[in-house]
Structure 1
Amino acid sequence: MSSFLNKAGTAVEAGEGVWPVRRRRILDWLVNETRGERFIDNILVEMCEKLLASGVPVARATLHFRMNHPQWIGARILWKEGLAEAKINTFAYGIENTPEFLKSPVNAIHQGAEEVRKQLEDTADDEDSFYQELRDDGLTEYIAWPVEHTFGKRHVATFSTSRPGGFTNEHVDLLRDLLPALTLVSEIRLKNIMARTLLQTYVGPHASEQILSGVTTRGSGATVGAAIMICDLRDFTEISDLWPRDDVIHLLNDYFDAMSDPIERYGGEILKFMGDGLLAIFPLSKDTACHDLLQAIREGQALMAQLNQQYAGNGREPLRYGVGVHVGDVMYGNIGSRRRLDFTVIGPAVNVASRLETLTKEVKRPVLLSRAFVEMADCAKDMDSLGTFPLRGLGEPVDVFAFPER
């Protein structure tokens, strides 16, 4: 079939209109030429730029995704004309119950609407602040459509224009025809993000990267040097027997927040929660690993003190805990059965940290550190030396240090 150039210089197949050709080109790009792009926000930006180049006057576009994330219920990717990069906003749980969200077009789509279309040049009887913000940005029409992923997962795509009179029928038809391809492209990227998020949530950022890069066979891993921290809550069995279930869960979450947030803030990686305990490492590939671990413990102790003040105000007993710290080489990788693996660390160094944590019950000091650790951290002068202790299952006694008592 022969082709010709229209006034804009675009090649048009003989017998075809301009808009079908433009639609097909953007669809071909979405389906066939975005395979190398990992991130849906970059695809949204490039798609909008191609729409503008094709004569579709898009001035604003968004993608709204529901997420499986411990902190966020969803995220919005926002592009505006002239932006080289999209903006990403996350939204905490609870926003779905706010008046602003309940009357929003995004909620209307989630409730089953197949389209929300608003002519913004018509302001009669319209006091909605969201639409007024769009008007203030010079936009003249807004359209929202569902993006239907598999298993009934409904997300939202929106497009707005500043063209006087809004979109034409040709513009709307082209945008609507892009939705199936945009759905496929976005679902693949969203599932990649969800897989990464879930792995980071349950095994930590470094372990998740290892798993995603293919370290998935039993026994795979590496030997790494690390400062090791094991923390355990005292009297938890008694608490769980006496307290209501929901109060116990709330207590555990408060305790883990206090101890875990500083660990992550200072570059440590929490490998697992073990009932009322946790195992974390600070890889020695970072020069300040030992110092970072000490700072994390000090901040965790301060947060636990604040938490215990709150508990005292409610007539509850303070929470007590024990922390054992050691340093050494550990095997870091996949361990378990053929079908169920755990990405963790094992080795004599982990055993020493565990025995030190247990020893805190005997010596009545909440944090115990091995000589190997305090020498590497160069902090022996700042610690109390408690002497040498035999540790169960270990051949040689260990010189033990503690944080000074206040």
Structure 2
Amino acid sequence: MDPSSLTALINWLIDGARSSDQPSQTMSEACGRLVALGVPLWRAGVFVRTLHPEIFGRSFVWRQGGEVEIGSVDYGFQDSPTYWDSPLAVVVRQGVAFRANPQSPEAERYPILMDLRADGVTDYLALPLIFLDGEVHASSWTTRSPGGFTEAQAEAIRAVIPALSRYTEIIGLRRIASMLLDTYVGNSAGARILGGQIRRGHTDTMHAAIWLSDLRGFTPLSDRLPAETVVDILNLYFDCQVEAIRGQGGEVLKFMGDGLLAVFPIAAQDGDPAEVCSRVLAAARAARSRVHALEYVSGDARERFRFGVALHVGEVLYGNIGGGNRLDFTCIGPAVNLAARLEKIAARLARTVVASETFAGACAEPWTDLGAFPIAGLATQQRVFGLREED
């Protein structure tokens, strides 16, 4: 085994694996280099917990002659027998290495080793990836070579682990930052913030279709139900909308109590307002169906829900607003204010979906003219339109 080639591999990882654009490519190249050094790898995996509201952890699994497979598990995984009966649980809990021959009788207590035995694996080496804060993640390395890894081959794998841990930690932190921003401020806002748009006053003008919705009867509902129940209901209610909005290319910007603000950007150069507004209306209909079907059992009561959504098209100011070092990335402007006023009119008219004249004019649907209404702050009355199917 060439010590200089092993050192080159370690230095390459320390330097950020610059020849690889993605973690999966890094995994593939690192394993390929180990094989070239004489380490007879058959399969290798890196398993990292992450900070995500739905995903407990991610895996990167390399196989000789195949592509790196990227997988994820939800939060139920850490309580499952699959996890607790695996060597990786030992590595993560105790922060120690684990090595076993899947062909030996002692391996029979671990189901994963039985699977590897069927694949002809002769050696299994699991090593901790220890981050700077002491958090422990895991890696696994297997071979089908007769007799398993030699001590020199196993030592080569161990030598790579510190550099692999640093690389994994840095990439993981960057991904966590991106996911948290996506989770709390939205996809495009998160990208802008990571891109450096973090100072107060950093704003852009966006032409967009605007969605502003509200849950009917939320105040009395929150007065008569326990706070925990109200939170459950709000989460279920927002689920009815968020999936529909994102599925049609929209971005949820803000939850305001029971209110939701979302935008559907219209490209400045070649954007098609009619196409975008058609997608917005499809999302509104999908959300309407889901909220109508939503049912929540609380004691002897069976709660049903109604909501309203106002749709408008206009220019919004999109960026950082706040005080000192506490900022909010949001949309403001007359178009957002008009959408908020329209949503109140929807409640007065007992309508689910209402649209401004601008939105209705851009969306070829059978609209009903609901009349002209005075809008606070505007000199002229605004015409409001409803879907004919709701007449």
TM-score, reference length from structure 2: 0.94
Q: CA contact under 8 A between 1:38 and 1:189: conserved in structure 2?
A: no
What are the Cα deviations for residues 126-176 of structure 1, in whole angstroms up to 9, with x where unaligned? 153311221222321111111011222211011111111110000111111
Root-mean-square deviation (Å): 1.8
**Preserved CA contact (<8 Å) 1:19 1:170:** no
2:79 counterpart (75, 97, 100): 97
Which residue among 178, 182, 193 is the counterpart of 1:211?
A: 193
d(CA) in 2 for partners of 1:311, 1:370: 36
Equivalent residue for 2:290, pick from 303, 311, 329: 303
**Quick one: which amino acid aligns to residue 243 of structure 1?**
L
Paired residues for 1:2-401 under 5 Å: 18-32=1-15, 34-35=17-18, 37=20, 39-83=22-66, 85-123=67-105, 126=108, 128-285=110-267, 286-287=271-272, 288-308=275-295, 311=297, 315-379=301-365, 382-401=366-385
Q: For 2:189 and 2:257, locate their aligned partners in 1 and report how far apart those are by CA, in whole Å.
A: 20
Alpha-carbon distance between aligned partners in 2 of 1:130 and 1:34, rounded to the nearest angstrom: 30
- Which amino acid is 1:108 matched to? V
Does structure 2 conserve the Cα–Cα contact (< 8 Å) formed by 1:39 and 1:189?
no
Which stretch shifts more, 286-295 or 156-165? 286-295
Shift of 1:40: 2.3
Q: Distance in 1 between matches of 2:21 and 2:201?
A: 30
Whether the 8 Å contact between 1:311 and 1:318 is mirrored in structure 2 is no
Q: Which moved more, 1:66-75 or 1:241-250?
A: 241-250
Q: Which runs of 5+ in 2 are unaligned?
A: none
In the TM superposition, residue 338 of structure 1 has moved relative to its aligned partner by 2.7
SS at match of 2:4: helix
Q: Secondary structure at the match of 2:198?
A: coil
Deviation at 1:362, TM superposition (A): 1.5
Matched residue type, 1:121: Q
Alignment partners' CA distance in 2, 1:389 and 1:33: 60
Residue pair 2:12, 2:18 contacting (<8 A) in 1 also: no
Q: CA deviation at 1:293?
A: 0.5
Aligned 8 A contact 1:141 1:161 in 2:
yes
Query: Any gaps of 5 or more consecutive residues in structure 1?
Result: 1-17
Which residue does the alignment assign to 2:390?
Answer: 405
Task: Output the CA distance in 1 between the equivalents of 2:246 and 2:19.
Answer: 32
In structure 2, what residue type is equivalent to 1:79? W
**Matched-pair contact (CA < 8 Å) for 2:241–2:287:** yes
Task: State the distance in 2 between where 1:155 and 1:79 align.
Answer: 17
1:48 deviates by: 0.2
Q: State the TM-score, normalizing by the size of structure 1.
A: 0.91
Q: CA separation in 2, counterparts of 1:405 and 1:182?
A: 59
For residue 389 of structure 1, what is the amino acid of its counterpart? Answer: F
- Contact preservation (8 Å) 2:288, 2:352: no
CA contact (8 A) 2:292 2:306 kept: no
CA distance 1:62–1:125, shift in 2 (3 Å): closer
SS at match of 1:152: coil
Question: AA paired with 1:405?
Answer: E
C-alpha separation between the residues in 1 aligned to 2:283 and 2:327? 29
CA 1:313–1:282: 2 relative to 1, 3 Å: farther
Equivalent pairs, count:
385
Query: Distance between the aligned counterparts of 1:89 and 1:284, measured in 2?
Result: 34
Distance 1:199 1:33 in 2: 23
Shift, 1:39, TM fit: 3.0
Check 1:335–1:124 CA distance in 2 against 1; reply closer, same or farther (3 A cut): closer
Q: For the Cα contact (< 8 Å) 2:86–2:111, is it kept in 1?
A: no
> C-alpha deviations, 1:230-268, integer Å up to 9, x for none?
011122222222212221111010000001110001100
Distance 2:194 2:162 in 1: 28
Q: Which moved more, 1:118-127 or 1:210-219?
A: 118-127
- 1:384 maps to a residue whose letter is T
Conservation of the 8 A alpha-carbon contact between 2:310 and 2:343: yes
Q: Report Cα offsets for 1:286-334 as digits up to 9, x if no partner.
A: 53210110000000011111113x5599632321222111101111111
Amino acid corresponding to residue 58 of structure 2 in structure 1? A
Sequence identity of aligned pairs in percent?
38
CA distance in 2, matches of 1:374, 1:312: 39
1:361 Cα offset (Å): 2.1
